Amino acid sequence: MTTAMKEKTKRKGLAKQESTHYRVHLPGFIKGEIGLGDVIKRTTYAVGIKPCTGCVQRAAMLNRWISFSG
């Protein structure tokens, strides 16, 4: 198997993993929709931790995975 074929197979596997999106309804707590990554980013920023490149990527991945709505 060539390197290009391995990379293509790997991307297909990642696409399947990222396709699962969960929505949690929290009436009364949240207005609109917000992702888990944004919740963590806002919390750490409020504590005084500044986001790095890895933090931004992790927030984007968590937003694709789970979101909260009112």
Alpha carbons 19 and 47: distance in angstroms, whole number: 32
Phi, psi of 28 (to 5 degrees): 90, -20
Nearest 5°: CA angle at 60, between 39 and 29?
Answer: 25
Q: Which residues contact 35 (CB under 8 A, 6 or more apart)?
A: 59, 62, 63, 64, 66, 67, 68
Radius of gyration for the chain, computed over Cα atoms and rounded to the nearest angstrom:
16
pLDDT tens, position by position, 2-42: 665 556 555 555 545 556 888 888 888 778 888 999 999 99
Q: What pTM did the predictor assign? A: 0.63
